[in-house]
Structure 1
Amino acid sequence: MATTSIPPLLFPSAALRRKNNDSSRLRCRIRVKAMATERLEIKIEKNPTETRLAEVGVRSWPKWGCPPSKFPWEYTSKETCYLLEGKVKVFPDGHGDEFVEIGPGDLVEFPKGMKCTWDVTVAVDKHYKFE
């Protein structure tokens, strides 16, 4: 029977195994940086770390909440908010039926001057800051 050698990059080396020589389990830690995306002029950072939230001071911002509802809104200054609970579809004016959906764990930035409609489908609880 012929044997096939497995390239080193595809087979974990002993150096990757746990220090207690338990070769049946591998441990690796991957750090994933939360990435901000922008869509329809709204910037969203999904699930930022507690370190990131502390950097921007989220926990010291005031809170706001509302039940499921639909209403127009205009941002007279830039708003950054962090959703603790809820689900919202934001329909920016001038973009037809296109919307951005935000939910728990989203750090969101709305630009000054944006006009939109908020469609709150699940009651919202958020921290917010206007600049």
Structure 2
Amino acid sequence: MRVRAQTMATEKLGVIVEKNPPESRLTELGVRQWPKWGGGPGKIPYTFSTKEVCYLLQGKVKVYVEGHNDDYVEIEAEDLVVFPKGMTITWDASVAVEKHYIELNE
């Protein structure tokens, strides 16, 4: 599956965020069939072993990308987000998060 960048998408620190994509886009990608993950507020360090695409159902997160000091990408409910393979982040959720996600070997 290829997830192509849309004109509504923006890139910051290597993270691509598409704000509030239309339901037709989510259907095209099969987002509602992807696995779900949820977690409470807190910080989680993580390195992506594959490219990951996620769609936040609820929550708000600051994503700190390794090597970019205190700069961050803020994501929230109804954002479609692409993280490249090999990226190391700290996931800082201010409230509980629930998301659909898929790992891609691209």
TM-score (norm 1): 0.74
* Corresponding position of 2:44: 71
User: Residues 83 and 127 of structure 1: is their aligned pair in 2 closer, same or farther, counting only changes over 3 Å?
Assistant: same
Q: Distance in 1 between matches of 2:51 and 2:96?
A: 23
Asked whether the equivalents of residues 34 and 46 of structure 1 are also in contact (C-alpha less than 8 Å), the reply is no
Give the match's secondary structure for 2:94.
strand
Q: Distance in 2 between matches of 1:34 and 1:66?
A: 30
- Number of residue equivalences: 99
| Cα distance, 1:71 vs structure 2 | 1.6
* Corresponding position of 1:125: 98
Structure 1, unpaired ranges of 5+: 1-32
* Corresponding position of 2:79: 106
Task: Flag the structure with more relative contact order, 1 or 2, with Cα contacts below 8 A and sequence separation at least 6.
Answer: 2
- Structure with a larger share of its residues in strand: 2
Match for 2:23: what amino acid?
E
* Corresponding position of 1:115: 88
2:27 is aligned with 1:54: yes
TM-score (norm 2): 0.91
Give the match's secondary structure for 1:98.
coil
Match for 1:35: what amino acid?
M
Structure 2, unpaired ranges of 5+: 1-5
| Cα distance, 1:122 vs structure 2 | 1.0
| Cα distance, 1:64 vs structure 2 | 0.2
Match for 2:31: what amino acid?
V
Match for 2:54: what amino acid?
C
2:13 is aligned with 1:40: yes
